[in-house]
Structure 1
Amino acid sequence: MRTLKVLLIMISFLSLSAMAEVQYQIHIKQPEHHLAQVEMQLDVSQPGALTLSLPAWRSGKYQILDLANGVSYFQASMADGQPVPFQKTEKSSWQLQLPAAGTLKVSYQIYANELGGRTRHIDDTHAYINASAYLMFSPKHKDLPLTVQLDVPAQWKSYSGMEHADNEHSFKAANYDVVADSPIETGINQYRSFEVDGRSYGLVVWGEGNYNLDQMQQDLAKLVATTGRIWQGHPFSRYLFIVHAADGARGATEHLNSTVIQKDRFGFAKREDYLGFLSTASHELVHTWNVKAYRPADLVPYDYLQPNYSKLLWISEGSTSYFEDQLLLQAGLMKKEEFYKGLAKLLNRFMHTPGRQVQSVAQSSFDNWIAQGGDHAANYSVNIYSEGFIASWLLDQWMLENSNNKVSYRDLHNQLYQRFGKTTAFTAENVKQIAKDLTGESLDSFWATQVESPLAFEPAALLKSFGLEWQADKEQEVFSGVSGTDQQGFTAVTKVERDSPAWIAGLTSEDLIVAVNGLQLKAGLTERLKDFKAGDKVELSYFRKGRLQQTTLAVRMQPKGPGVIKAVAKPSRQQKAQHKAWLGVEL
């Protein structure tokens, strides 16, 4: 009899546990003031201390963002209305003292006016909801299923990579990690749906602009059909593209089975601009495998309150950048010449990045959490995107050459997905082992010289192996090394390239250049220097911290543009074969 009672108690407990879920409601009644009221409800099994936290960063952005700075009017009570004492214990956490077991209710206000950060934005036309910036979590309840119910204006429509719960404005997720990686777009928007290879895709666009929604849908359908070139299988059954078309908008973020892409409302019509949009869409789609299905072990699990340091972010971001235009090329959305043009810009930017001699891609990955801008960024460091792209390219070449063009970097990523997708995360040793399994050769030497050390390669030699050459522009222009913004009567310096003429002249960021050879600037420094030739020495007058100073700059010339990458005159059979194995298209 006693055994039966214990069994019944266990069954009852398991039934309650299976039914338990965390419930959120987001009320948007004052969208014009960027405000939302959040209500959270969860069942607690015992009295005592319980901590609730809002993440300090969001996935896809490896920097501390301090998302709790939008929280106010925090309150907590039990279901019967009994207040629950609490105190804030650190910038993102509140500790509650529960008087008893039962249902806990928490409410707080969110101020959401950060569109560019792709975390939280509310206005009278829409709300963008990244749960990391709206929904608190309890570590004890983080693995429980949950629902999110929206209370929004009647004409608004709501979309997410999550499944709907009870109605079009409610969503459900298996746990907090899923909702934190599944943003919601709700508001006045346009929507298209399509299917490719038995999978459902959605495209929701907020904002007016010069885009063609039908063309976007058609091209995205072509793009998603190419992913089999890299991976065997999909980590999703449905996927959502969220697009924000707004003044000055830029950037994008990958999520579990969706992405948000932000672009200036008038940045779609020109061919180059539209290709930029498609490249971004491709980049974020690649992330659905590379980061969301498999990612560095250092990022598993996400620590929402502290940085997750990793030396492999160059694979997460740089390799994703490396694959993005390859997929467009395969989909017929980008011409071969346009692909080469992108390579020329990348290599030209690399040669104007003095930090390439200082920092490795592994170091850049680890330090991404504290990456700086201004003079320091390009002069003493590299970034995980562009230099990670080049490291991926070099590794691709290594694999092709060590396998007689039988396996490539695509095969390595497919193996990462097959071995680690949805089950665990990979390490540097895993990458090395896969490369050895595929080619029969050790990757240790490559890793030491190209990953753990600053990149060391000759662009001409790399291109030549694929039957390409890089031809510099014949037209020359003045090179000062100054990056800045031209204002009425002066140029405000934002960056100075290390070892450039401006660097040698002693200029630095925040200097205000006001005159050349005693004559006031009218059209900006770059335009004024066009009046001089190589070897000329000009006197610059500038303000630094309010004090007028002078220096002498020696004019230097450089090719006007990034140059042109094209096929060599008589490519060899090996060059043709390696090019075909690399991109899947003939040289």
Structure 2
Amino acid sequence: MKKSIFFELSFSEPQAHYVDVRMSISGFQEKEYIDIKMPVWAPGSYLIREYAKNVEKIKFSSPARAVTAEKIAKNTWRIYNPSEHIEVSYAVYGFEVSVRTSFIDASRAFLSPVGTFMYIDGYLDLETSVHIDLFPSWNKISTGLQKTSETNTFYAPNFDILFDSPIEIGTQDTWTFDVDGILHECAMVGEADYDKERLTEDITTIVREENKIWGSNPNYYYLIITHNYQNSNGGLEHLNSTVLSTSRFNYAQPTAYKNYLSLVAHEYFHLWHVKRLRPKALGPFNYDAENYTTGLWIIEGFTSYYDNLIIRRCGIFDEYEYLQKLAVDFNTVYNRPGYLLQSAAASSFDTWIKQYRPDENSHNVAISYYNKGAMHAVAMDIKIIAASQGTKCLDDVMRAAYEHFYLIENRGFEEDEFQALAERVTGVDLSDIFTAAHHAEEVDYNQYFHLVGYEIIDKAEEQNYLTLGIKVGSNEGHTVIKNVDRDSAAWISGLNVGDELIAINNHRIEINGKAIEYVLAHASAGDTVNILISRDGLIKEIPVKLIASDKKSYSIQRREIATDEERRLGNIWLSIKDYLVHDKKYNHLIIR
């Protein structure tokens, strides 16, 4: 008998945040036993999330005979002497707001497939189908899974596709539009004041710009699910869909709306870069454990560089807005003392224990491969543009890598292979950038920016202000230290995370920090201030010797002394085709 697996989803208690799952298994009767498993992580979000913790009421049955089964590991159940047909039923609790986890209530259900469906160990390549019984007040299903001829039934050729296809069920607002022959669907979840016509136009522009970069689009259908909350921001990529979260108020605010479009550009870029062009470690997946790679700085970092650049190329960001966005990556990295300790490659490898599990000391020991990878990407792009006199750029590398590793060889790449291809395609030695990605030593990024007539400047150097080097928060009305910067005045003097701040030089400290600001404004580097704290219920006075802040405030701007050739290359980099005049009042360029 042919091996098969079929799922049926229903909702007997959505208000209590449960989905009911029935898994029908056939054709495994010759086995001594089979192990059914639930993934422990979601591809694209590199953290062991232990989805099996949400499984309840699991039962095993067969029309032929009693089923003997037991749980043998945290996410594994073993069925002994399986009969021709076996049914596994279980309930999954889902009430976590994120793009990676399931959320179910009386109004809707968002199902993260890795936390909903189980698989049979060793049989990820089996095809499967899913039937969904709609809750009475629901009327729509949005998913990248292939529809079948049966109502509310969907098909997946294997479990990798199933696990990569989130499902939104409820009353979401949906509409479709065509972009270059590809059907796109938007599914808007939750109340928000968005303009469908404007969204369609802007997303179409983004898609066309990205299609130009890659040369082709592998999908015939693409789904964009957006969860609209009061305050939220995030996204997770999939083969032919993405799930975004944003604030319902963003569509009416120009800057916030552009940031949402940048998020769309980021996740859409991933349909090529990550989902298809990828490091070897990221597919086929091991759903049981961590999948380690040092290459996230390439796949996520480069995507973080391209998202805002694409919005610039689309004309949504002007030059000044784009340079501000790019400067954020530099400020984010350089204002974390951990940049002196962790490289982009090390950040990639340690993502499983650091990126998604930050604590009070994370900023002192780690950086994000998103930001640092973007910094390496802009250096690479500029170096290629300059060395080729503007005839090539990073686009050429991405397109060639996609064609070679995915379309031709259909495999993941090693970093040295990616570097070799990039150098072969461009004729440019890129070893300085790939070496820098594996070392924490500082890079002079102006050696790249100057090539295209720009410069990065730390404007904080002119301010030379004092700081304790702490971040504070409120805990039951008390002002409490949340972070202490490495090598800051607070770090050296011994102020600790968790200390309640009571007074500074006999001035009461409130959560607004006015007393601290006042004392520091009237002090000099080398002065000592006395800070009264409560630590574990005991009152202490800590003398703190003040030092100047080492915080950065980078901006990126055109160089006054740039040559005509450098300016020409800069215009190519930022897709500036008009005549530009420098506006000294705002220190940026305006189009005339």
Normalising by structure 2, we get a TM-score of: 0.90
Determine what percentage of the aligned residue pairs are the same residue: 27
- Aligned residue among 474, 490, 503 for 2:478: 490
Q: Aligned pair 1:84/2:70, yes or no?
A: no
534-543 or 155-164, larger mean C-alpha shift: 534-543
SS in 2 for 1:430: helix
Shift of residue 211, structure 1, vs aligned partner: 3.6
Q: Secondary structure at the match of 1:204?
A: strand
2:110·2:167 contact (CA, 8 Å) conserved in 1? yes
Would the aligned equivalents of 2:473 and 2:511 in 1 still touch at CA under 8 Å? no
SS in 2 for 1:549: strand
Match of 2:39 among 45, 51, 55: 55
Separation in structure 2 between the aligned mates of residue 144 and residue 560 of structure 1, nearest angstrom: 54
- 1:451 paired with 2:440, answer no
- Which residue in the other structure is 1:7 paired with? none
The 3 A distance-change label for structure 1 pair 462 and 402 is closer
Matched residue, 1:363? 346
Residue 23 of structure 2 aligns to a residue whose secondary structure is: strand
**C-alpha distance in 2, partners of 1:526/1:421?**
57
Counterpart for residue 8 of structure 1: none
Change in Cα spacing, 1:546 to 1:459, as seen in structure 2 (3 Å) is farther
Q: For 2:66 and 2:47, how far apart are their aligned partners in 1?
A: 36
RMSD between aligned residues = 2.4
Using a 3 Å threshold, how does the CA distance of structure 1 residues 495 and 174 change in structure 2: closer, same or farther?
same
Amino acid at match of 1:436: E
**d(CA) in 1 for partners of 2:77 and 2:538?**
48
Q: Which residue pairs with 2:422 in the alignment?
A: 435
Shift of 1:75: 1.1
Cα 1:509–1:214, aligned 2, differ >3 Å: closer, same or farther?
farther
Contact 2:335 2:552 in 1 (8 A): no
| Cα separation, 2, equivalents of 1:344 and 1:405 | 23
Measure the CA separation in 1 of the matches of 2:155 and 2:387: 48
Could you list the runs of 5+ residues in structure 2 that have no partner in the other structure?
581-592
Instruction: Give the distance between the partners of 1:470 and 1:318, measured in 2 at CA.
Output: 19
Cα displacement (A) at 1:203: 0.7
1:258-277 to 2 correspondence within 5 Å? 258-277=241-260
Matched, 1:419 2:419: no
2:514 and 2:499 mapped to 1: Cα distance? 15
Structure 1 pair 207/304, CA: closer, same or farther in 2 (3 Å)? same
The Cα offsets for residues 201-241 of structure 1, whole Å up to 9 and x where unpaired, read as 11101111344444323221221111134211112111111
Instruction: Give the alignment partner of residue 533 of structure 2, picking from 531, 537, 542.
Output: 542
Q: Which residue of 1 aligns with 2:570?
A: 579
| Residue among 490, 499, 502 paired with 1:502 | 490
Label 1:215 to 1:558 Cα distance change in 2 as closer, same or farther (>3 A): farther
Q: Secondary structure, in 3 states, of the residue corresponding to 1:230? A: helix
Give 1:430 deviation, angstroms: 1.4
What does residue range 10-409 of structure 1 map to in structure 2 within 5 Å? Answer: 17=2, 21-45=4-28, 46-78=30-62, 80=63, 82-100=65-83, 102-116=84-98, 118-156=100-138, 157-167=140-150, 169-371=152-354, 372-409=357-394
Q: Deviations over 1:554-580 (max 9, x none)?
A: 455669993543222243123223323
Q: CA deviation at 1:477?
A: 6.0
Structure 2 counterpart SS, 1:215: helix
Distance 1:348 1:442, change over 3 A: closer
**Matched letter for residue 198 of structure 2:** Q
Measure the CA separation in 1 of the matches of 2:430 and 2:556. Answer: 29
Q: Deviations over 1:19-64 (max 9, x none)?
A: x542111111211100111001121241421000000001111110
Q: Decide which moves more: 243-252 or 522-531.
A: 522-531
CA distance in 1, matches of 2:89, 2:558: 63
CA distance in 1, matches of 2:371, 2:452: 20
Change (3 A) 1:114 1:148: same
Moved more, 244-253 or 381-390: 244-253
Letter in 1 for 2:473: T
Q: Give the 3 Å change call, closer, same or farther, for CA 526–408 of structure 1 in structure 2.
A: farther
Higher deviation after alignment, 236-245 or 209-218: 209-218
How far apart in 2 are the matches of 1:194 and 1:54?
A: 35
Distance 1:413 1:527 in 2: 52
Q: Which moved more, 1:242-251 or 1:544-553?
A: 544-553
**Cα pair 1:482 1:493 within 8 Å, conserved:** yes
- Offset at residue 530 of structure 1 (A): 4.0
Residue 523 of structure 1, CA deviation: 3.9
SS at match of 2:543: strand
**Structure 1 residue 504 displacement after superposition:** 2.5
Q: 1:517 aligns with which of 495, 502, 505?
A: 505
- Is the 1:127–1:186 contact (alpha carbons within 8 Å) kept by the matching residues of 2? yes
- Displacement of 1:141: 3.0
Q: Decide whether the 8 Å contact of 2:533 with 2:541 is kept in 1.
A: yes
Q: 1:140 to 1:269 in 2, by over 3 A?
A: same
Distance 1:532 1:193 in 2: 57
- Structure 1 Cα separation of the partners of residues 271 and 72 of structure 2: 35
8 Å Cα contact 1:359-1:382 kept in structure 2: yes
Determine the C-alpha separation between the residues in 2 that align with 1:140 and 1:121: 29
SS at 2:369 equivalent: coil
Q: Deviation at 1:105?
A: 1.2
2:380/2:430 contact within 8 Å kept: no
Supply the AA of the counterpart residue of 1:302.
Answer: F
Moved more, 457-466 or 38-47: 457-466
Deviation (angstroms), 1:435: 1.8
Deviations 1:469-519 (A, max 9, x none): 345267776533212324575332222221223222322322222222233
Q: What's the offset of the Cα at 1:296?
A: 0.5
Match of 2:467 among 444, 468, 479: 479
Determine helix, strand or coil for the equivalent of 1:76. Answer: strand
Determine the structure 2 residue equivalent to 1:13: none
Deviation at residue 139 of structure 1 after TM alignment: 2.6
Partners of 1:74 and 1:109 within 8 A in 2: yes
Q: Could you say if the C-alpha distance between residues 387 and 563 of structure 1 is closer, same or farther in structure 2, counting changes exceeding 3 Å?
A: closer
CA distance in structure 1 between the partners assigned to 2:391 and 2:515 by the alignment: 51
Q: Secondary structure at the match of 2:214?
A: coil
Give CA-to-partner distance per residue, 1:103-161, whole Å, 9 cap, x none: 22111110111122622110111111111000000134321211111112234211011
Deviations 1:425-445 (A, max 9, x none): 111121121122123344445
Write the deviation string for residues 512-560 of structure 1: whole angstroms up to 9, x where unpaired. 2222223322343366414532515432222333332222334556699
| 1:60-101 deviations in Å (ceiling 9; x for gaps) | 1111000000001111122x153311111110111111343x
SS across alignment from 1:346: helix
Letter in 1 for 2:576: V
Distance in 2, matches of 1:443 and 1:570, equals 26
Paired residue secondary structure (2:330)? helix
Q: Aligned letter for 1:518?
A: N
